[in-house]
Amino acid sequence: MVQPNYDYEKYSDVFKKFQQPMQELIELNMQTVQNVQHLKPEDFTKLNKPEEFLQKQVEVALANGHKALDYMQKSFHIMERAMLSCVKEAKEEIRK
């Protein structure tokens, strides 16, 4: 039986190039999860009116919404850089 001729070195290079963006995404995920705001039990003791509770909830939701948008922007930037790098290398390979 004839085995296909795979260029394992080329595949290894490709995986190494995707390793950096994946590492950046993992770090971004960890940073984002750690920075998510939430109401703490001591926050409830400071509230005197039901409106204050609702106000706190809205503030937390807005803050987390902005963090989610920042996360999306940063993650898309990381993936865009990775894809542009791959396209650039593919074009160079075609020209050879």
Q: What is the pLDDT of residue 29?
A: 97
8 has a pLDDT exceeding 60: yes
Burial per residue of 22-42, b for 16 or more beta-carbon CB atoms within 10 angstroms, e otherwise: eebeeebeeebeeeeeeeeee
User: Is there a contact between 85 and 17 (Cβ–Cβ < 8 Å)?
Assistant: yes
Task: Summarize the confidence of residues 13-36 as an average pLDDT.
Answer: 90
Token duo for residue 6: 């795979």
The predicted structure's pLDDT at residue 73: 98
Domain for residue 91, yes or no?
A: yes
| Residue 96 is assigned to a structural domain of this protein | yes
Tell me the per-residue pLDDT of 27-69, one tens digit each, with 9 for 90 and over.
Answer: 999 999 999 999 888 888 888 898 999 999 999 999 999 999 9
pLDDT (0 to 100) of residue 44: 83
Total domains in the chain come to 1
**Domain interval for residue 89:** 69-96
Is 62 part of any domain? no
Instruction: Identify whether 95 is part of a domain.
Output: yes
Residues 72-94 have a mean pLDDT of: 89
Q: pLDDT band at residue 6, thresholds of 50, 70 and 90?
A: low
